[in-house]
Amino acid sequence: MKEYIYLNGSILPAQDARIHVSDLALIRGYGIFDFFRAIDGKPIFIEDHLDRFENSARLMALPIPESRDKLREIILEIIRLHPMPLLGIKMILTGGFSVDGYTPAAESNLIVMGKPFEFKPADVGMKLMSMEYRREIPEIKTLNYIVPIRALAKMKASGADDVLYHLNGNISESSRSNIFIIKNERIITPVDGALFGVTRKHVLNFAKKYFVVEERDISLQEYFEADEVFTTGSTKRIVAITQTDNHVFSEGKVGKITKKLQELFLDYEKLY
Amino acid sequence: MKEYIYLNGSILPAQDARIHVSDLALIRGYGIFDFFRAIDGKPIFIEDHLDRFENSARLMALPIPESRDKLREIILEIIRLHPMPLLGIKMILTGGFSVDGYTPAAESNLIVMGKPFEFKPADVGMKLMSMEYRREIPEIKTLNYIVPIRALAKMKASGADDVLYHLNGNISESSRSNIFIIKNERIITPVDGALFGVTRKHVLNFAKKYFVVEERDISLQEYFEADEVFTTGSTKRIVAITQTDNHVFSEGKVGKITKKLQELFLDYEKLY
């Protein structure tokens, strides 16, 4: 399949989507992004992702060069050009071509790309490696992934699939997904230090019909004492965490409540 | 003057130096850089900057695609192509064209560019705005400047020229330069949380012949009680800090010892 990328007003064959090296994301890391899925051509939770993208842009004082309607049209065109059962769509907004190499330009650069991807199987758990870290501006989906990418080798050496951030005794999130714990049939997820994930929001939304749900601080100790742990994200839906460091959760299997939530989520997502 | 940029093996007219949008600095902020000056065609402290660039690359597990000798040749060619009395040279190394949008590629992308610049006049002081922050990995010259760039509007509104980072009561550095205080003719600069600046190193090197020099923690209180404050960097040499927030140092003028150091530094730099 031929791939296409939207760049600053044009949709180009993917290999031609090149940007001048004075872009402020490239030289100073200044930019934001968002990511979501299209299933059989239908974008999932697109308005939530546009909301968050606009919010990230506002918090970074980056003007979005297209209206929301026009941006939605671009996304739908990218989806149309990539007829796949499962497509990941990424929007990137950067500080533009900075004149002095530091100050954001009046016009941001906007990129929209589509790439096929696969979900992890829902019946397999992930293993996390805990690390002392908190994203600098957790409420913004910035481009800065230096610390977790730098930890990739250590993570792989320890057999982990991803990381668990904690700071000052409290957990916050994984590198690209939110964290929930289940204790005595209560479902608990952190607020401070975590990105407001779109899947997180929808899980909270339907889980509260079936369970007691709490959004509050979770200490590292409470985390390790959980009955079940799971992670949520646009590339994952709901995936069980069956191990963190040397501690195994729910006997290394997908826990009972996690499994229930996975089933409920699939039904819930179909309504969108 | 026509400008040129080195990009992955080719020297191109500056406007043609475009890179594919899958570069890992652009999509995940993963990269490092270094910056130094050439005066009348002569690169200043180039070996120090190559040392630091190699060290940053090693700490980020980024292979440099050229040998040190070849990189030096590229830099000299960029200098030759921009015959200016004062040229700033920037080398950028990124995680390459990542296949999965997260893991660094086997080959990094390397960019070398030259741009004319001007020094700030040495007889004028700068004003800083204090902010609670510390770079995530202070010992590496990463591309991540999200926090200080985001603070630009607030900084300008307060009439400041740059920021002073402090965390847990201790100061560390400015956004792109090191900080020194002078108290009772002692010259003191922080170690923890600060980049090992090349100008910083050389200032320490010659200042110790004339003054007592200390590298140690400096509390915010000690900072505000200093007799004089100055900042050092490749784009600045030595520049007085005459104000931070509402506090004025050395009556708003370049202090006596700062002035002496500025003169000594000009002589010292000529020997290189």
Instruction: Report pLDDT digits (tens) over B251-265.
Output: 999 999 999 999 999
In sign, the C-alpha dihedral spanning B224, B225, B227, B230 is negative
Cβ-nearest to A21 among B18, B136, B142: B18
Distance of CA B121 to the CA centre of its chain: 18
A145:B15 CB<8 A: no
The answer on pLDDT for A272 being more than 80 is: no
The answer on pLDDT for A107 being more than 90 is: yes
Using a CB-CB distance cutoff of 8 angstroms, which residues of chain A are in contact with residue B165? Answer: none
The encoded tokens of residue A263 equal: 């089933």
**Full pLDDT tens readout for chain B, 272 residues:** 799 999 999 999 999 999 999 999 999 999 999 999 999 999 999 999 999 999 999 999 999 999 999 999 999 999 999 999 999 999 999 999 999 999 999 999 999 999 998 888 889 999 999 999 999 999 999 999 999 999 999 999 999 999 999 999 999 999 999 999 999 999 999 999 999 999 999 999 999 999 999 999 999 999 999 999 999 999 999 999 999 999 999 999 999 999 999 999 999 998 87
Cβ atoms B179, B189 nearer than 8 A: yes
β pairing state of A212-215 and A186-189:
parallel
Of B31, B140, B26, B101, nearest in space to A30 by CA: B26
The answer on pLDDT for A6 being more than 90 is: yes
Distance CA A221, CA A166 (A): 11
3-state SS, one letter per residue, for chain B: CCCEEEECCEEEEHHHCEEECCEHHHHHCCEEEEEEEEECCEECCHHHHHHHHHHHHHHCCCCCCCCHHHHHHHHHHHHHHCCCCEEEEEEEEECCECCCCCCCCCCCEEEEEEEECCCCCCCCCEEEEEEECCCCCCCCCECCCHHHHHCHHHHHHCCCCEEEEEECCEEEEECCCEEEEEECCEEEECCCCCCCCHHHHHHHHHHCCCCEEEECCCEHHHHHCCCEEEEEECCCEEEEEEEECCEECHHHCCCHHHHHHHHHHHHHHHCC
Domains defined for chain B, CATH in brackets: 4-116 (3.30.470.10), 126-269 (3.20.10.10)
Cβ-nearest to B30 among A92, A102, A146: A146
- The crossing angle, in degrees rounded to 10, of helices A68-81 and A46-59 is 130
Question: Which tens digits make up the pLDDT trace of B197-223?
Answer: 999 999 999 999 999 999 999 999 999
The pLDDT mean for chain A works out to: 96
Q: What residues are paired with A232 via a beta bridge?
A: A178, A238
pLDDT at B120: 83
pLDDT at A53: 98
Distance CA A258, CA B263 (A): 69
Q: What is the mean pLDDT of residues A206-234?
A: 97
User: Which residues of B have a CB under 8 Å from any CB of A?
Assistant: 5, 7, 15, 17-21, 23-31, 33, 60-61, 90, 92, 94-95, 101-104, 111, 113, 115, 136-137, 142-147, 149-150, 152-153
- Counting residues of chain A whose pLDDT is more than 90, the rounded percentage is 95
Distance CA B13, CA B19 (A): 14
Cβ atoms A255, A240 nearer than 8 A: yes
A149:B27 CB<8 A: no
Cβ-nearest to A152 among B94, B103, B149: B103
Burial class (CB in 10 A: 0-12, 13-18, 19+), B196: middle
Interface test with A, best of B11, B21, B110, B177 (most A CBs within 10 A): B21
Distance CA A211, CA A214 (A): 10
Burial class (CB in 10 A: 0-12, 13-18, 19+), A51: middle
Of B86, B92, B85, nearest in space to B6 by CA: B92
β pairing state of B86-94 and B31-39:
antiparallel
User: Which residues of A have a CB under 8 Å from any CB of B?
Assistant: 5, 7, 15, 17-21, 23-31, 33, 60-61, 90, 92, 94-95, 101-104, 111, 113, 115, 136-137, 142-147, 149-150, 152-153
B153:A61 CB<8 A: yes
Strands (E), chain A: 4-7, 10-13, 18-20, 31-39, 42-43, 86-94, 109-116, 126-132, 162-167, 170-174, 178-183, 186-189, 212-215, 228-233, 237-244, 247-248
Distance CA A57, CA A93 (A): 8
The answer on pLDDT for A41 being more than 90 is: yes
Q: What are phi and psi of A162, to 5 degrees?
A: -165, -175
Using a CB-CB distance cutoff of 8 angstroms, which residues of chain A are in contact with residue B157? Answer: none
The encoded tokens of residue B3 equal: 């400008």
Question: Which tens digits make up the pLDDT trace of A116-149?
Answer: 988 888 899 999 999 999 999 999 999 999 999 9
Specify the DSSP class assigned to residue A97.
B
- The ipTM (two decimal places) reads 0.96
Q: b/e string for B21-40 if b means 16 or more Cβ within 10 A?
A: bbbbbbbbbbbbbbbbbbee
Q: What is the mean pLDDT of residues A217-234?
A: 98
